[in-house]
Amino acid sequence: MEKKNVERTEDGRYIVVGGRKWRATDPLLPEESAAELRRRLMAARRAVRDALRQQDSEAERRARARVQLAKTALGERGTAWWEQSDAERKKRWEEGLKRLQGEPE
């Protein structure tokens, strides 16, 4: 997958979109794992949209929990990846992938 040229802060910890900073995905994350997590993130976001359309608060809650899990596994939420050891970072994304397996896509 070709990556878009995204503006980043000098330290590489954040991307800048529309003048707003967002935490960048953990650069230690292997591309194959990152792609799988992004795929699951987008599926969870679609599930949030669908739940809102159907006014299903329980489905929305479950979908938002999957969004949170994927974003955390990517390193975009939770403890900042630059504050974690390499082993902690690897454990974070491996556990996230494992927990997201078997979830609806």
Q: What is the DSSP letter of 4?
A: P
Average pLDDT, the chain: 93
- Give me 93's structure tokens: 């994304």
Rounded-to-integer distance, Cα 94 and Cα 91, Å: 5
Alpha-carbon distance of 60 to 93, in angstroms, equals: 23
Statement: residue 93 has pLDDT above 80: yes
Full-model pTM: 0.89
- Bridge partner residues of 21 (DSSP): 16
Residue 102 confidence (pLDDT): 77
Domain definitions of the chain by residue range: 31-100
